[in-house]
Structure 1
Amino acid sequence: MISEKHLKKVILAADVYAICVQHALTTEKQEIMGLLLGEVDEVECISHITACVILHRSDKQPDRVEISPEQLCTASVHAEQLQAKLDRPMRVIGWYHSHPHITVWPSHVDIGTQGMYQTMEPLFVGLIFSVFQNDSRLRTNQIQVTCFQASRGVSQLERREVELVIQSSPLQNYNLEGIADLPRILIQEEVDCHDDKDNNTQDELASLHNDSFKTLAMVHIVSKVVRPLCDDLGERMTTVNQRIKSLEKMIKQLQENSDD
């Protein structure tokens, strides 16, 4: 049964938000998913999300995602490792997934899944990123995000929106590692998917056909994910180096003024 205790606010680190959006934009045909890590203020009922785990999809679907117990266990181990490394509380406190080409609002399946998690952790939270929504008037793609929990309605579970605050933060090393690992996860998903198809067929022509689609999928990942990611990280590095030079110049001026 869902507890009466519920979240009042979720504070999401900007670098985690960037990872979630980057992950959501990798495909417009299936939903993606991941788990959110951080700590919860049990007194104020406020979640602080500072890291995430990108999950490997064993079954790609355009309208639903599922998180296996094994994935939850792996994410919990990762949270424990981060906790020891950062010397602060860190655990799995939520999940996220995407809605390509549809609205940001959770479906009844999403709300049911959220309700299930809340039976184990009352302050567990869900984030949904709506991507690839075309605005014909502005000729742009919109990205929307909603933060929600499930609550007990009159006859069924209902969505309850939670205030979401995106907090400015630098790109932490552990989140940088998560971004860098994204192409490897996507490639492994494609390899597993096409290998399963090859195992189910003895036809040489069908096998050749599957190999060609696997190659196309790999090319798509390189051109649409890896290259833009490298460009983005390169721009970040340039910005950081410029900032370092600016600060060094400022320090030098302050030292000269103090000598005078």
Structure 2
Amino acid sequence: MEPLDNNINNLTQDGNIRHVEINLDALALCLNHAFSSESEEVLGLLIGQIDESQRKAIIKSTLPLTRSNTNSECVEFLSDHFIVGGIHTAKLSKKSGESMLVIGWYHSHPRKAVWPTTADVERQAQYQCVEPSFFGLIFSVYNGSCTIDTMNICCFQTFKQNPDTVKRRCIDVTIQPTKFNFYNLEGYIYLPQLLWEERLKAYIEPSNEELDTFEILEKDSSTTVELINIMNAITRPLLWSLEERLKITKMRVRQLRGLRNFLEQI
């Protein structure tokens, strides 16, 4: 899928998706990425399936992407991002035996409200002109007293309020516990590698001015701190995900034990 210009003639009146399900591991991957930066927005693609009969999207995995710029106020998808997404989903479909598609996008709002900005709404409208079921997820992190337990999520599409005005429409999201899938386990490995490559690229970019010894040491120290912060940030959502999975597993064990006891008494 490739974004169009700002023409909204093809935009539907009420969007296409009514409900979104995201599995626990895919959510953890999104949170890992979102919490990796307190100052810059991050972005990625949502991978899964669309249930046309129920107008429901099912997010099964994610694909974190490298930022095209480091502007904390705005992230932007490039055409190459969607090409990469198409190649990734084709490989994923072949390995998993399931039909997988790029069904949406996500990005973070560090230290900002969760609601889509004007730029977010305009960009989403462009994507929906190409694919009506395409939707967006926004993760508000590090916003005031926001922690891993109180971060906010907004899922949205756009609709035409009138021929010249586009508005957002929020969509309900539910979290579905699932078994570990190989592609999400691979995601836990891929994300730190992606973030490291981003920082390494910024570190080795040539400077317009020759640095003295003190400035080199300062740059090295700053990069080291950034890498430590990244590792600290991405482990918190992973720990949260595993704790939630443990709670669900314990609840299922209790239910099965109760069922076994009931059957033994029949």
Q: TM-score, normalised by structure 1?
A: 0.81
Structure 1 SS opposite 2:93: helix
Tell me the equivalent position of 2:25.
15
Number of matched pairs: 243
1:149 paired with 2:194, answer no
| Distance in 1 between residues matched to 2:31 and 2:233, nearest whole Å | 14
Aligned counterpart for 2:226 among listed residues 204, 217, 233: 217
Distance change (3 Å), C-alpha of 1:7 and 1:232:
closer
Tell me the equivalent position of 2:178.
169
Identical-residue share of aligned pairs (%):
30
Tell me the equivalent position of 2:6.
none
Task: Extract unaligned runs of 5+ from structure 2.
Answer: 1-8
| Distance in 1 between residues matched to 2:225 and 2:32, nearest whole Å | 20
Structure 2 SS opposite 1:118: helix
Aligned counterpart for 2:121 among listed residues 94, 111, 116: 111
Q: CA deviation at 1:36?
A: 0.2
Tell me the equivalent position of 1:192.
201
Q: CA deviation at 1:230?
A: 8.0
What code does the residue aligned with 2:86 have? Answer: S
Residue 13 of structure 1 contacts residue 167 of structure 1 at CA under 8 Å; is this kept in 2? yes
Residue 134 of structure 1 contacts residue 142 of structure 1 at CA under 8 Å; is this kept in 2? no
Distance change (3 Å), C-alpha of 1:235 and 1:91:
same
Q: Higher helix fraction: Structure 1 or Structure 2?
A: 1
Q: TM-score, normalised by structure 2?
A: 0.79
Q: Which structure's relative contact order is higher, taking Cα pairs within 8 Å and 6+ residues apart?
A: 2
What code does the residue aligned with 1:158 have? Answer: K
Tell me the alpha carbon deviations over residues 118-168 of structure 1, each in whole angstroms, 9 at most, x when there is no partner: 1111110100111123349xx996211111001112342110112222212
Aligned counterpart for 2:190 among listed residues 156, 168, 181: 181
Structure 2 SS opposite 1:153: strand
| Distance in 2 between residues matched to 1:73 and 1:46, nearest whole Å | 24
Structure 2 SS opposite 1:65: coil
Q: Out of 119-128 and 15-24, give the one that drifted further.
A: 15-24
Task: Extract unaligned runs of 5+ from structure 1.
Answer: none
TM-align CA RMSD: 3.0
